[in-house]
Amino acid sequence: MKEKKLGAKVKDLVSSVKTHWTTPPEGRYVPYKEIAAYSVGGIGVKFVIYTAWYIGLSATSLLAGSALGLKNGDLVKLTMIATVIGIFLVPLRGMIIDNTRSSKGKFRPYLLYTGIPSGILLTGFAFLPFESMSYNQKLWALFITYELLQLCYPFYDQAYTTLVQVMSPNSTERADVITISTFIYSLAPTILGFLVPILAGFTGGLEHINAYRIIMPIFGIGGALIGLFSYTGTKERIIVAKDYTPKVPFFKGIGAGIQNKYQWARSITGWLILLQGGIGSVTTWYFYYGIKDVLGLSTQQQGVLNGTLTTILGAAATPAMLLAPLLIRKVGKRNLFIIYILGTTVSMIGMFLFIKQIWVLFAFTWLRGFFTTFTLITDGAMNADVLDYQQYKTGERLEGLMAQFVTFIGTFIGMGITYLTNTVLMQNTYGLTNNYDDLYKASFREPISKGMILLAIVGYVLSLIPFITMYTLTEEDHEGHIGVLKIRAALEDYATGALSAGQLEEAKQIYTGALTQLKELEAQLPAATGKEKRQIQRMIKGLQIIKDEKNRFDDPAMQRRVEKAKALLSHTVEELYGISEPTMDRYNTAKAMDESTKAAAKAKAQAMREASKELDRFHKKAYNYIQARKLVKQLEYYTHWETIFESESAAAEA
């Protein structure tokens, strides 16, 4: 009976994929073909990212420490220099992403323009003549290549990771796409983990540069070519009005993002988890160096077993990714993240207690990998929810600035943790400098590993405090935010004459449906108890967000904003800024251009860029004035809420 049910489910799934290969199912936005392109492209993207990680400024890197023979102290100094440079690169990267306005989208262009250069840089580095280079030449070659990569692959990584957050406005669908794509692109680290040690075993091991002359061309350039699928086969869908959108000035964006309490909750939690920075080295120390020592293996046997064990560790992700979407539906993203923290902490305690038994240690390391996989699903999904909340609160999503601002702060925290981990603990306390062969000895390997594990446990335990107390965003709240964003976009597009078919009617149904459901739930609440009561209360809170949108401008704080805006608008642009406002004629003409052929689309894109530049210059200088005018216009839309929703929807759609 069970086999028949399973067979029927598989048959239904295959039928659904065929039916909705190019057209999404009802209530969804992303067809299966697009999910497949994003997922397969992700394998290539992750090949590039994981290969780039070999070029790290850390003694725990086999390339930097063993293959090039660079000292831990020198690498720490370079890390500090790189951190200072990153202080300027990180916010610049955020501003560039947030102000990207291309016919290709906001994130997709970076999948096209930054992957191949990353692969070329990696390959070029591997073939430098290290055999004849001095110590300082090797040191600076590593540093310069590392910095050049910072101009490419972080854009590449963020573009891919964030793209899924704008492929659908539906939070559940986003989580499903993240689950499917993560399941597929997790093949990348599995393939790398299996093949790299085996290939390295035939070229002298990962402690020798020849191994990287095979690894980097295959997975660097080859990965970038596969990654193009995620560019060619995807589409961005952000809920915004269709009118011209001005660029966000850097400090204005920072000021808006800094007020997002959920971003702070996630950031502080992440900064505390950074204390686990050294625990990843334990896997290398025990299952690369340790297995050769404990089991008495040759270099080739070491490579094969390391590849096998790494593959098994990577396989921990498979059951976690299959469970993640089910658990999200059952307990929500927030609670799943808490399960991840608790499960990982228990796993690390097991690693600490059983570090002398290598196979028990391996089992707890596998278990840690199982729990940490949950974050591959929850992080992207929660980040998208936080950005939707940001757009709900301020009208701007700020993907780039939001991410880069907290990264900017995290850079200093990371610098301190790197110093603590690499210098205070590894070097000064446990004596790891360039004596990497000592890691083959249990007497050296065990104390340093226990120190890294203990520090990670402390970080995870502390991280629970800000997450539980500050991150209170529920699935129901997010549904309310999305409903409001659709209503606002419909109202603005109604005013500018840019409505899509069915758009205003959908917004009306969201609002009236929320009122109806809210009334039903409020009637059920007195009789409900326990879990059912808590669920109803969460649903009421989410629906209340939609209901309250009608009276958005009755809020005292909003009324003060409106008065301030009206005072600013009592002056002319010329009086305030000494400039004249350009008309929208040039932009609208460019927007109406034909794009039926490749040449026409290119000409339209160029015309749009030129028209936008003129508007951007004005909006940058008169940003406050433009925002004030936008707010007063919104007030006008909301004043006529009843008229627009009840009288105009049918006429507008006709």
Count of H-run helices and E-run strands, the chain:
31, 0
> Is the model's pLDDT at 124 over the cut of 90?
yes
- Give 555's contacts (C-beta < 8 A, 6+ positions apart): none
Are 54 and 69 spatial neighbours (Cβ–Cβ below 8 Å)? no
- Please tell me the distance from the alpha carbon of residue 237 to that of residue 163, in angstroms, as a whole number: 9
pLDDT tens-place string over residues 26-39: 878 899 999 999 99
DSSP run (H or E) holding 321: helix 317-353
Taking the chain, what is the end-to-end CA distance rounded to the nearest angstrom? 52
Rounded alpha-carbon distances, angstroms, from residue 14 to 9, 18, 30: 9, 6, 17
Mean pLDDT value across the chain? 85
- Please tell me the distance from the alpha carbon of residue 278 to that of residue 284, in angstroms, as a whole number: 11
Are 13 and 152 spatial neighbours (Cβ–Cβ below 8 Å)? no
Please, what is the Cα angle at 260 between 259 and 266, to 5 degrees?
135
Considering the chain, what percentage of its residues have pLDDT values greater than 90?
35
Are 621 and 577 spatial neighbours (Cβ–Cβ below 8 Å)? yes
> Is the model's pLDDT at 447 over the cut of 90?
yes
Structure tokens at 219: 């997975």
- Please tell me the distance from the alpha carbon of residue 163 to that of residue 157, in angstroms, as a whole number: 10
- Please tell me the distance from the alpha carbon of residue 54 to that of residue 543, in angstroms, as a whole number: 48
Q: Of the ranges 135-149, 172-186, 614-628, which is most confident?
A: 135-149
Q: Side chain identity at 580, as an amino acid letter?
A: S
- Please tell me the distance from the alpha carbon of residue 342 to that of residue 626, in angstroms, as a whole number: 48
- Give 613's contacts (C-beta < 8 A, 6+ positions apart): none
Looking at domain 23-473, its CATH superfamily turns out to be: MFS general substrate transporter like domains (1.20.1250.20)
114, HSE (Cβ side, Cα atoms, 13 Å):
24
582-599 exposure pattern, b = at least 16 Cβ within 10 A, e = fewer: eeeebbeebeeeeeeeee
Are 160 and 45 spatial neighbours (Cβ–Cβ below 8 Å)? yes
pLDDT tens-place string over residues 410-428: 878 888 888 899 889 998 9
pTM of the complete model: 0.70
pLDDT tens-place string over residues 55-101: 888 766 778 878 888 887 888 888 888 888 877 776 677 667 666 66
The domain segmentation of the chain, as residue ranges, is 23-473, 477-553, 564-653
pLDDT tens-place string over residues 544-584: 999 999 888 888 999 999 999 999 999 988 888 888 888 77
